[in-house]
């Protein structure tokens, strides 16, 4: 039963945090394409880790993370206004690198497939 509550809270925090980051925070350091990819909430509902993804270079990622860290209090306050829980979780913000790692892995797989095709073509040509 408690697990379903944690799941619902995760989704609600994700939705609200996305809206706040996209529409309400006016910090110029936040990159225009910043999204909340995941939210993890501890079982005791005291801490929520918000994972963000930023489309941009390393400097934009660093600046966005700094700006969001600076805005943690405001984020927690606004989330607390919009959800009804006894204790609003403390917000922790982390960069989600899974998208970049996925793209990198996809590129590596494509390179291996390309090399494999080249090797097969060379083998077929040498057999003829």
pLDDT band at 3, cuts 50/70/90? Answer: confident
Please give the CATH architecture assigned to the domain spanning 2-96. 2-Layer Sandwich (3.30)
pLDDT of residue 2: 56
Residue of 65, 56, 69 lying closest to 100 (CA atoms): 56
Residue 1 has pLDDT above 60, yes or no: no
Q: Kindly report the pTM of this predicted structure.
A: 0.79
Q: Is the pLDDT of residue 44 over 70?
A: yes
**Which pLDDT score is estimated for 102?**
86
Backbone phi, psi, residue 91, to 5° = -90, 130
| For the chain, domain boundaries | 2-96, 97-128
Residue 55 makes CB contacts below 8 A (sequence gap 6+) with 31, 33, 34
């Amino acid at each position: 039963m408690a697990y379903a509550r944690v799941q619902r809270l995760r989704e609600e925090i994700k939705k609200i945090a996305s809206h706040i980051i996209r529409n309400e925070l006016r910090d110029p350091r936040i990159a225009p394409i910043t999204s909340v990819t995941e939210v993890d909430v501890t079982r005791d509902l005291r801490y929520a880790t918000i994972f963000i993804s930023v489309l941009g270079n390393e400097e934009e990622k660093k600046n966005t993370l700094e700006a969001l860290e600076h805005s943690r209090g405001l984020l927690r306050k606004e989330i607390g206004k919009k959800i009804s829980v006894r204790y609003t979780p403390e917000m922790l913000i982390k960069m989600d690198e899974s998208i970049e790692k996925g793209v990198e892995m996809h590129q590596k797989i494509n390179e291996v497939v390309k090399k494999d095709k080249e090797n097969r073509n060379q083998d077929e040509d040498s057999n003829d």
